[in-house]
Structure formats: C-alpha cells, structure tokens
C-alpha cells in the first residue's frame, strides 16, 4: 500500500522511459533542483497550453539550477508526436524530457492515481486521469519541497511555481521566510528562531520590527 507523500519526504526514486531516453530519477536530478509535473493526456487542450508555457520558462528554471521533467501515462512516441503540435500552437519547442508512464508506475508512486488501480495507459481518457495534474519541486537532497494538485479543467500557473522556487531557494540559504504574495527582490521576514542579537550579525543593514514576531528585512541577496 502506498503511503501519502508529505513535504520533506524523500521523493520516490524510479527508472522510466522518456523522450530523452531512459533515466533513473535521482541520478537525473543530480545536484540540481527538479520539477516533476504531470498532465492527464497528450493531445488535449489545457495540457497543450501548459507544456508550451513551461517550455517558454525553461531558461528561467535553468538559471535557478532547476531541471524540468513532464509525465503522463501516454507512450513516449505519443509525446514526440504531440510535441510538434505544442511548438506549432504555443510557439515553444518542448525542451525537457517527458516520461511515458504507460504502466502507471510513477503515477501510483507519487499518489497521482489510486495505488490499487490496475491496468495500463491503454484506453485511458483525460477524464480517467483527472487526478494527474500535479507538480512536485524536489531539492538536490532529493526531498520534496512543494506539492500541488490541480483539477483537470484548470490550467496551472507556472509563474507561481517559479515564484515558490525562488522562495524555497532563498529560505534554504538564509534564515528568512517570505510573506504573502512575495516576489523575488521583495522584503522578507526574519524567522522567529533568530534572536535580535543574532539578527544583528546576520542582517547588519537592520530591519523593521512591526511586532516582536514580525520583523521585515530587505531581500538578503
């Protein structure tokens, strides 16, 4: 029986066929961050817009030492054929690997489908894959940093995924948290575990105390 995944769990490792050849997931991640995102089915409208937009953001993720990999239960050959439609209609060539999870192995491993669901990808429709529109951000330590699941009819906001990645990477380096609607470069919050005395050394430029537990500091980078 598959247990539910949580933030800070080790991301399950797997081997899979992709449009870039076979991979071992943890080896593929290496010393990078990674985004594993799934979609319900190839040659469907919402997914076409999503994968095209993600291809357009590839350089931004690369700047952040982050690899991208897509997944659906369709065969790799379908991915290759669909990629032509994505480039034609969205203006961006898919420049990241896509996993062909035809036996539903990875989908079940990551709780995208019921663990006891039998069968393979054959005959499946977007409707029967309704739960497979998920996003995982995974760190170089192979720990899960973020999990998102969207309904089938709602395209994801990948700008938000990029924003959260910026927060994750910043807060991994500095003892800060990011407030509501934070964007890269905005002021941050000094975490409560840091005393005022320690904060003087960490943030010599000073900070603004709104409440003893709410201390705003300029972006530390």
Kindly report the pTM of this predicted structure: 0.92
Residues whose CB falls within 8 Å of the CB of residue 133, separated by 6 or more in sequence, listed in order: 38, 39, 40, 149, 150, 151, 152, 154, 156
pLDDT at site 184 = 95
CB 216 within 8 A of CB 210: yes
- Name the residues annotated as catalytic: 47
Phi-psi region of 181 (alpha: psi -120 to 50; beta: other; left: phi over 0): left
Res. 1: pLDDT tops 50:
no
24-38 average pLDDT score: 98
pLDDT digits (tens, 9 = 90+) for 131-162: 688 999 999 999 999 999 998 889 999 999 99
CATH numbers and ranges of domains, the chain: 15-156 (3.40.30.10), 174-217 (3.30.1020.10)
SS3 content of the chain, % helix, strand, coil (to 5): 30, 20, 50
Q: How confident is the model at residue 101 (pLDDT cuts 50, 70, 90)?
A: very high
Buried (b) or exposed (e) across 119-141, using 16+ Cβ within 10 A?
eebeebebeebebbbbbbbbbee
| % residues pLDDT > 90 (the chain) | 86
pLDDT at 91 (0 to 100): 98
* Average pLDDT of the chain, as a whole number: 93
Per residue in 78-93, pLDDT (tens digit) is: 999 999 999 999 999 9
Query: Model confidence over 163-200: pLDDT tens digits?
Result: 999 999 999 999 999 999 999 999 999 999 999 999 99
Which residue's structure tokens are 């069968």? Answer: 119
Cα(38)–Cα(68) distance, integer angstroms: 11
């Amino acid at each position: 029986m598959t247990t539910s995944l949580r933030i800070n769990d080790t991301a399950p490792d797997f081997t899979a066929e992709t449009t870039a050849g076979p991979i071992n997931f943890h080896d593929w991640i290496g010393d990078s961050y990674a985004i594993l995102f799934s979609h319900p089915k190839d040659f469907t409208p919402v997914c076409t817009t999503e994968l095209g937009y993600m291809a357009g953001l590839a350089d931004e993720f690369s700047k952040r030492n982050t690899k991208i990999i897509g997944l659906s239960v369709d065969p790799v050959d379908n991915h290759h054929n669909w990629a032509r439609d994505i480039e034609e209609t969205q203006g961006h060539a898919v420049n990241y690997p896509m996993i062909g999870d035809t036996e539903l192995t990875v989908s079940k491993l990551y709780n995208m489908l019921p663990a006891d669901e039998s069968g393979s990808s054959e005959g499946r429709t977007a409707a029967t894959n309704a739960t497979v529109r998920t996003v995982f951000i995974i760190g170089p330590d192979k720990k899960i940093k973020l999990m998102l699941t969207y309904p089938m009819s709602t395209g994801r906001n990948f700008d938000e995924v990029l924003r959260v990645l910026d927060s994750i990477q910043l807060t991994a380096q500095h003892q800060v948290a990011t407030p509501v609607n934070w964007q890269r470069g905005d002021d941050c919050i000094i975490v409560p575990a840091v005393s005022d005395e320690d904060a003087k050394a960490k943030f010599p430029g000073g900070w603004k105390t709104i409440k003893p537990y709410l201390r705003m500091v300029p972006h530390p980078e």
